[in-house]
Amino acid sequence: MNRVDLNWDDNEVLPDKLRPDVEFLFGRMSSATVEMVDPHPGERILDIGCGRAIDIVNMSASGAELIGVEPSFVMLSHARESLKLDGTNTTVLQGIGESIPVVPGSIDKVLCKGALDHFADPDKALKQIAAAIRPGGRAVIAIANFESLGFKIGKMIFACRKLLGIKNPYKRLPWEPPPDHTIKFDYPTLMKMAGRYMKVEKVTGVSMLSCTPGWGDMLAALPAGLTGFIVRSLDGLSRVFPMLSDVIVIRCVPRRSA
């Protein structure tokens, strides 16, 4: 059984310097997720695996009641600092997605961004998410797609490099899930797992080609205006073809109320 890392820190995984593709990906992932949640005044919204509470801060002006749940003591400290700096008055609790510390059927909307593949038991977490939502409520899940177009191209590039005898410069290839991931998500896997407990009513993609070998360096060498046009254009394509996008965002309704 996988153990929960109570001292996990995203400082260990964030690159020292963000290239344009990854910087756009992070920002667009947050905005697309919050757009899908669509917070309204009076709604009770739960962010599971809230990390630094960035999305809570982004929703703070909505008038919704916001609750964050995070297992790591370190990330809870980051979250409370973010909320303090923003002046946001909300609740962040220590907890895990497999045992959500709320009354079943008491949450209007659940948000889980970039966290489900870290959970010890993602399937159990999805069941808990479905149970936490009141009738008519929604869940929004955003997750990295490890079968994205960018990763498929990267695999082909490295296969060619291997044939040419070029040494691999990476300790871990971008399309290989990090050690702290418990499952490799792609479009079919996410849809199948979420579909056990919820009906998926909307799907969108975020960004395309991020983390493809050499892509970020090429974008960094271009004029900023041209780089912005390229990444925004690819993001538009990702919304049409979410199976090929870097991140998949889904909105679901529990089957008992579908």
pTM comes to 0.91
The predicted pLDDT at position 14 comes to 64
User: From the CA atom positions of the chain, what is the Rg in Å?
Assistant: 18
The predicted pLDDT at position 2 comes to 57
Total Cβ atoms within 10 A of residue 218: 14
What values do phi and psi take at 40, rounded to 5? -130, 155
In a domain, 199, yes or no: yes
The predicted pLDDT at position 89 comes to 73
In a domain, 56, yes or no: yes
In a domain, 5, yes or no: no
Three-class secondary structure assignment of 200-258: EEEEEEECCCCCCCCHHHHHHHCCHHHHHHHHHHHHHHHHHCHHHCCEEEEEEEEHHHC
Q: Count up the domains in the chain and report the number.
A: 1
The predicted pLDDT at position 258 comes to 45
In a domain, 124, yes or no: yes
Longest dimension (CA), the chain: 60
In a domain, 3, yes or no: no
For residue range 141-169, what is the model confidence (pLDDT) as tens digits? 999 999 999 999 999 988 888 888 888 77
Could you read off the pLDDT tens digit of each residue along the chain, which spans 258 residues? 456 766 777 776 666 678 999 999 999 999 999 999 999 999 999 999 998 999 999 999 999 999 999 998 898 888 888 888 877 778 888 988 899 988 999 999 999 999 999 999 999 999 999 999 999 999 999 999 999 999 999 999 888 888 888 887 777 788 888 888 899 999 999 999 999 999 999 999 999 999 888 899 999 999 999 999 999 999 999 999 999 999 999 999 998 654
The predicted pLDDT at position 257 comes to 53
In a domain, 189, yes or no: yes
In a domain, 176, yes or no: yes
8 Å CB contact between 53 and 79: yes
> What is the distance between the alpha carbons of residues 204 and 242, in angstroms, rounded to a whole number?
6
Domain hosting 249: range is: 10-257
In a domain, 205, yes or no: yes
CATH number at residue 57: 3.40.50.150
